[in-house]
Amino acid sequence: MRSILLWMARNQWLRERLPKLWFARRAVRRFMPGEDADSALAAAAGFAADGIAVMFTRLGENVTKAEEGDAVAEHYLGLLDTIAERGIDGEVSVKLTQLAYDLDRDRALAHCERLAEKAAAQGRTLWVDMEGSDYVDGTLELYERLHAGHPNTGICLQAYLHRTAADIQRLLPQSPGVRLVKGAYAEKATVAYQKRPEVDANYVALAVAMLEGMRARHTVTLGLGTHDVELIEQIAEHAVALGLDRTAFEVEMLYGIRSGEQRRLAKAGYRVRDLIAYGEAWYPWYMRRLAERPANVLFALRQLLP
Ligand code: FDA
């Protein structure tokens, strides 16, 4: 089921047609408050009341014109202004291929630099998402160049990839920002663990490696981007055993997923951030959410009922 859904996420024919179906549009609302930035900004207020910070991302990937990337960068610059005006405890996470990385890498880096500069002036971190494994080398290379001049930046790393342990060791001396996730794409066994217990074990090992790095006086801005509360609690125990506090990391979850747990963890003293996505180009992103939990397909189909 996961493979089929991830294939559907990449299929151009479906990408053009499925989002037009009314029941799909209704179902996606479970994972995003609306297609425009205003809906996302309005949703942030609800989280603030529960002591939960937010992160915004405008959906879209692999744009085919450089001008589209320029427009996305302008959009995020405006969004940062609005976040500041409204006093929202919010950050922004971008996808390089939405900043036209496929067409012009230096221009994508320049976009990130402008965004990082504005974020720094506001005391925020700019995050860079990780996409499929073909992009990992390039994303890391761009991130290292960006981070050298803009320390207020972070990158997403995926625990399902065999290479991530080595990537973390390379980044640690650079005082990185790292959002650790399990990984959302269809990857081959040559590059990625395929079984959930293997991914989970690697997730804990990688998080602990970063906590040990912190103890060894490396600075790491660490986000655990997972809904796996059991893993989060295991990692918190490791943090305490290492003499760190569980606020050494931030828990990051997606809008609409395990909302009760987000509130419970925030009440229990964890730092929690909810990633609010918005935008019209939600189809591949939504299919990856279905692939993570095939029971979500039933939820989508139930939208067909009156
Ligand atoms: P796992 O899939 O094992 O789920 C643990 C439990 O959480 C499940 O049992 C279920 O209860 C609940 N759950 C998980 N997913 C659910 C869903 N879709 N619907 C309902 N319940 C669900 N990936 C990537 O490759 N690049 C990136 O840049 C990012 N960025 C990112 C940011 C943030 C803040 C988060 C939370 C996630 C990402 N991801 C990502 C996605 C990530 O790689 C992964 O696919 C999802 O987080 C699902 O994996 P979990 O860690 O939640 O564990």
Report if residue 92 sits inside a domain: yes
What atom in ligand 1 is closest to the CA of residue 291? 18
Per residue in 221-268, pLDDT (tens digit) is 999 999 999 999 999 999 999 999 999 999 999 999 999 999 999 999
What atom in ligand 1 is closest to the CA of residue 95? 28
Is residue 22 very low, low, confident or very high in pLDDT (cuts 50, 70, 90)?
confident
Report if residue 106 sits inside a domain: yes
Report if residue 88 sits inside a domain: yes
Amino acid at 224: L
Collapsing DSSP to helix, strand or coil, 196 comes out as helix
Active site residue 179: yes
Question: Which residues touch 260 (CB under 8 Å, ≥6 apart)?
Answer: none
What pLDDT shows up at residue 25?
84
Distance between CA atoms of 128 and 151, rounded to whole angstroms? 13
Distance between CA atoms of 161 and 168, rounded to whole angstroms? 12
Per residue in 80-104, pLDDT (tens digit) is 999 999 999 999 999 999 999 999 9
Evaluate if residue 305 carries a pLDDT over 80.
no
Active site residue 129: yes
Q: Is the CB of 277 under 6 A from ligand 1?
A: no
Per residue in 181-231, pLDDT (tens digit) is 999 999 999 999 999 999 999 999 999 999 999 999 899 999 999 999 999
Residue 21 DSSP code: S
Q: Which of 251, 180, 181, 174 is CA-nearest to residue 219?
A: 174
217 exposure class (CB count in 10 Å sphere: 0-12, 13-18, 19+)? exposed
- Tell me the average pLDDT across 288-302: 84
For ligand 1, the distance from its centroid to the CA atom of residue 227, given in whole angstroms, is: 6
For the chain, the C-alpha Rg in angstroms (whole number) is 18
Q: Is the CB of 297 under 6 A from ligand 1?
A: no
Report if residue 69 sits inside a domain: yes
What pLDDT shows up at residue 188?
96
Q: Is the CB of 180 under 6 A from ligand 1?
A: no
Report if residue 15 sits inside a domain: no
Q: Is the CB of 225 under 6 A from ligand 1?
A: yes
Q: Which of 77, 91, 74 is CA-nearest to residue 40?
A: 91
What pLDDT shows up at residue 29?
86
Provide the domain limits for residue 38: 33-281
CATH code of 216's domain: 3.20.20.220
Is residue 19 very low, low, confident or very high in pLDDT (cuts 50, 70, 90)?
confident
Report if residue 257 sits inside a domain: yes
Q: How many of the other CB atoms lie within 10 Å of CB of 77? A: 16
What's the total number of domains in the chain? 1
Q: Take atom 31 of ligand 1 and give the residue whose Cα is closest.
A: 225
Distance between CA atoms of 21 and 33, rounded to whole angstroms? 18
Q: Take atom 12 of ligand 1 and give the residue whose Cα is closest.
A: 227
Per residue in 24-70, pLDDT (tens digit) is 888 888 899 999 999 999 999 999 999 999 999 999 999 999 999 99
